[in-house]
Structure 1
Amino acid sequence: MILGLHHAQITIPKGAEEEGKNFYCNVLKLEEIEKPISLQGRGGFWLQVGDKEVHVGTEDGFNRLTTKAHLAYQVEDVSYWRRVLMENNIKILDSVPIPNFERFEFRDPFGNRVEIIKEI
């Protein structure tokens, strides 16, 4: 029986951890959490997002701009995040409307698709 979602993983290019931490921890204000010692030599970093984790791994040779795969971060104020991202030169992308939700999308500095969403 599946009980729930424990974590999700995205990837960034190998060697881009500092840039990734800057974006995810400083711009999006997500908390970095310590990886288990057994995984620390593999690159990447982990983030706490509410009661879930996002694991940021590293891999090369993958075009992130060609996939629909994404994470959707649930927020209280969509306009606040739109403003923060625009101030950090992140291009805001239009999303197909979904009834009862306010949302938009963007690509992180590595091309990963990201959604900001709020139920209304």
Structure 2
Amino acid sequence: MITGLDHVQLAAPPGSEDALRAFYGGVLGLREIPKPASLAGRGGCWFEAGPATQLHLGIDPDFHPAEKAHPAFRVTAIHTHATRLTTHNTPITWDDNLPDHERFYTHDPVGNRLEFLEPRTPGSSTATGNTPAPTE
């Protein structure tokens, strides 16, 4: 029986840890957590958003960004996240194809696709100026 999802891992190129820390820790506000000593020599970095949500970024010498596969971050105040990203020169693409949700896509500094979504509350309006993103 599967009881939950422990973490999602994305790949990153060698030497990208500083850019990843600036983006995931600085821009998104995720907390970096230490990698176990037995894995630390591999490079990369791990982050968490609360005790049950982890994102691992592992170094891959033959890195290719995930352009279709992606983690989806469930957020509150989605427009605040969108503003924070665009303020940090990170383009976003709104997508209104998921019923009852507001969501957008962006990419991390190494090109991995990321989704942000928030369920709509009854009576809330849709995001304005939405541009469809690539289909899932």
Q: Do these two structures clear the TM 0.5 threshold for a shared fold by scoring above it?
A: yes
| 1:1-120 equivalence runs, <5 A | 1-50=1-50, 51-64=52-65, 67-120=67-120
What is the identity percentage for the equivalent residue pairs of Structure 1 and Structure 2? 39
User: Please, what is the CA RMSD of the aligned residues?
Assistant: 1.3
Q: In the aligned structure 2, how far is the partner of 1:64 from the partner of 1:44?
A: 15
The more displaced of 92-101 and 42-51 is 92-101
Higher radius of gyration, 1 or 2: 2
Q: TM-score, normalised by structure 1?
A: 0.93
**Contact between 2:12 and 2:63, CA under 8 Å: does it hold in 1?**
no
Residue 64 of structure 1 aligns to a residue in which SS? coil
The structure in which a higher percent of residues are helix is 1
**Contact between 2:96 and 2:102, CA under 8 Å: does it hold in 1?**
no
Deviations 1:40-79 (A, max 9, x none): 10000111122221111111333316x3100111111111
Residue 70 of structure 1 aligns to a residue in which SS? coil
Aligned-residue offset at 1:96: 4.6
The structure in which a higher percent of residues are strand is 1
Unaligned runs of at least 5 residues, structure 2: 121-136
Aligned-residue offset at 1:13: 0.8
Q: How many residues align?
A: 119
Unaligned runs of at least 5 residues, structure 1: none
User: Amino acid of the residue matched to residue 19 of structure 1?
Assistant: A
